[in-house]
DNA sequence: CGGAGACTTGAAAGCCTTCAAGACGTGTGG
DNA sequence: CCACACGTCTTGAAGGCTTTCAAGTCTCCG
């Protein structure tokens, strides 16, 4: 660890230009020289332990974070103190946009595992974004993707479907997101969150999550062992997520 | 309508600087002279009839819209063709951010009533925002508020509550939003959307929405007559939305 | 090795959904 | 101006899925 060469590699890896997440993150589409500006601003490589918080509800909006390793959950505390999980964040995804509206955080971000993040001071980010068109575009794109993920989750919750269908859709989405990071077509991954977290995210009881996992397994869609998920058949997973509406195909009436 | 004086008034009202929604919209916090730039860009006062669309899923991302009068719903069509309502939009609220991520719309925006909107070409908006710091800040703030509304909705869906509690929370939120527009503390408003729309927004059957309305009425929380809502007691509405957890207050144990 | 938390599984109860029919309300045409 | 028709909304009853309570197993960490 104290080998100077290792340290150099570390230093190199810290740079946005060397980051494996570059294409998912703010640098995408930013020219090499502009990247230096972004680079110099990022307070990089903040490491947090499991269950640590990046920020709390009510905190001033100082920075956004991008997960580099590990995973996070975003928890909104309602006026009555009940906690709702509104999002999970894996490497390459942005955290902290909930503060853009009011200038102060409305949720808190909690590490699900040991993790590290890039901390990006928001004032500086927007200032540079104003001067670097590519960065401004990319910032808005990253925000847009965050909105899209939120919409997908909302759709999953509002669609009146069974528990195992919701879980299937959740797992399907997670698989796609992990593939963006890994770059390969792996069909196995480890859940960073507990059943309880999944339950509060999907709006059901944790016992129901367990039963839904069990059902997906007996249906030969996945193999589940603790937090290890192995997707046996991705098409089956997609089908499990979107039950075919018998009625649509059972009506052989031609357009009259 | 053809009276020249009326036309002048119309022309004046079109200006951002004269718009009653100024404080809710992009101009907030932008200096008077910078406002002219924003003003000149906005293709103002596009009028649409009920059930008309501002854009469809798959459309290129050309512009964002701000509702001026009337109301809209944003509908996401899943791969299987089932439609989920992910948002409602009343005057002062922005529409179309779902396209920021991919450069093309993933939802469609449908007018619930006769309505009119300000159409703001997005490329020009960001270009001017890069030059006008106040506008950039406000743009991000408006986006942030949109994210916050989405989070609140997600929380409402994920919280495992009864149907009438969800509906109460929905009505409470709508009341607050209408107050921002009206400026006054009115406790009555007209729902722009059908029971069916509410049902698909809240993830329940439309019959359940009807029963939930009925229950809120028998509980003396609201009076509901068709689409007319009268909130009798706002505190009651809040309580109906967040059922008190008996356990918390029923445990008289002092901190041991 | 022990303990605490996470996870699973079973059984009864409750709430929502579904199917069905009727009431209401609005807009159109006579 | 009234009648009719259509869609929206309401209300009832049976059934299903999830929740809840409970007990037991597993797993990780000290």
User: Cβ separation of B84 and A159 shorter than 8 Å?
Assistant: yes
pLDDT in tens, A221-234: 999 999 999 999 99
Task: Say which range, A140-149, B17-26, B126-135, has the weakest mean pLDDT.
Answer: B17-26
Cβ-contact B152, B144 below 8 angstroms: no
Q: CB within 7 A of strand D: which residues qualify?
A: A 162-164, 203-205, 207-208, 211, 226; B 160, 194-196, 206-207, 209-211, 213-214, 224, 226-227
Share of chain A above pLDDT 90, in %: 74
Rounded to the nearest integer, the mean pLDDT of chain B is 89
A and B: number of Cβ contacts within 8 A? 145
By C1' distance from the Cα of B161, the closest nucleotide is C15
Domains of chain A with bracketed CATH = 9-150 (2.60.120.10), 162-250 (1.10.10.10)
Rounded to the nearest integer, the mean pLDDT of chain A is 89
* CA/C1' separation A210–D9 (Å): 39
Nearest CA in chain B to A151: B86
Share of chain B above pLDDT 90, in %: 74
pLDDT in tens, B234-255: 999 999 998 776 444 443 443 3
pLDDT of residue A253: 39
Contacts of A203 in chain B (CB under 8 A): 157-160
pLDDT in tens, B178-211: 999 988 789 999 999 999 999 999 999 999 999 9
pLDDT of residue A15: 83
pLDDT of residue B213: 98
pLDDT in tens, A241-253: 987 764 444 444 3
pLDDT of residue A7: 56
Contacts of B33-42 with CB under 8 Å at 24 or more apart are B34/B132, B34/B134, B34/B135, B37/B128, B37/B132, B38/B128, B38/B132, B38/B135, B39/B15, B41/B120, B41/B121, B41/B124, B41/B125, B41/B128, B42/B16, B42/B118, B42/B119, B42/B120
Predicted confidence band of residue B9 (pLDDT cuts 50, 70, 90): low
A152/A180 Cα distance (integer angstroms): 17
By C1' distance from the Cα of A163, the closest nucleotide is D18
Task: Say which range, A194-208, B4-18, B19-33, B186-200, has the weakest mean pLDDT.
Answer: B4-18
Share of chain A above pLDDT 70, in %: 89
Contacts of A96 in chain B (CB under 8 A): none
* CA/C1' separation A197–C10 (Å): 23
By C1' distance from the Cα of A225, the closest nucleotide is C7
Predicted confidence band of residue A92 (pLDDT cuts 50, 70, 90): very high
Predicted confidence band of residue A10 (pLDDT cuts 50, 70, 90): low
Residue from B125, B147, B204, B235 to probe the interface with A (highest A Cβ count within 10 Å) = B147
pLDDT of residue A61: 98
User: Cβ separation of B144 and A85 shorter than 8 Å?
Assistant: no
pLDDT in tens, A54-82: 999 999 999 999 999 999 999 998 766 67
User: Cβ separation of A151 and B80 shorter than 8 Å?
Assistant: no
Residue B59 has pLDDT above 70, yes or no: yes
By C1' distance from the Cα of A165, the closest nucleotide is D17
Nearest CA in chain B to A199: B158
Q: Looking at CA atoms only, how far is residue B81 from chain A in angstroms? A: 10
């Amino acid at each position: 660890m104290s080998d100077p060469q290792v340290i150099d590699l570390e230093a190199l890896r810290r740079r946005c230009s060397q980051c494996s997440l570059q294409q998912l993150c703010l640098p995408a589409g930013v020219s090499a020289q502009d990247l230096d500006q972004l680079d110099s601003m990022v307070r990089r490589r903040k490491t947090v332990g499991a269950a640590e918080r990046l920020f709390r509800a009510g905190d001033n909006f100082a920075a956004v974070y991008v997960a580099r390793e590990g995973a996070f959950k975003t928890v909104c505390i309602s006026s009555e103190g009940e906690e709702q999980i509104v999002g999970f964040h894996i490497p390459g995804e942005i955290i902290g946009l909930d503060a853009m509206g009011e200038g102060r955080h409305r949720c808190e971000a909690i590490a699900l595992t040991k993790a590290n993040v890039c901390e990006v001071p928001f004032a500086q980010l927007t200032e540079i974004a104003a001067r670097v068109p590519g960065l401004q575009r990319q910032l808005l794109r990253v925000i847009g993707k965050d909105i899209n993920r939120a919409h997908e989750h909302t759709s999953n919750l509002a669609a009146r479907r069974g528990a195992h269908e919701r879980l299937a859709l959740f797992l399907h989405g997670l698989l796609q997101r992990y593939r963006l990071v890994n770059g390969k077509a792996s069909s196995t991954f480890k859940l960073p969150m507990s059943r309880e977290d999944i339950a509060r995210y999907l709006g059901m009881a944790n016992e129901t999550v367990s039963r839904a996992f069990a059902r997906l397994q007996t249906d030969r869609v996945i193999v589940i062992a603790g937090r290890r998920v192995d997707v046996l058949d991705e098409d089956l997973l997609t089908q499990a997520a979107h039950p075919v509406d018998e009625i649509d195909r059972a009506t052989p009436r031609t357009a009259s």
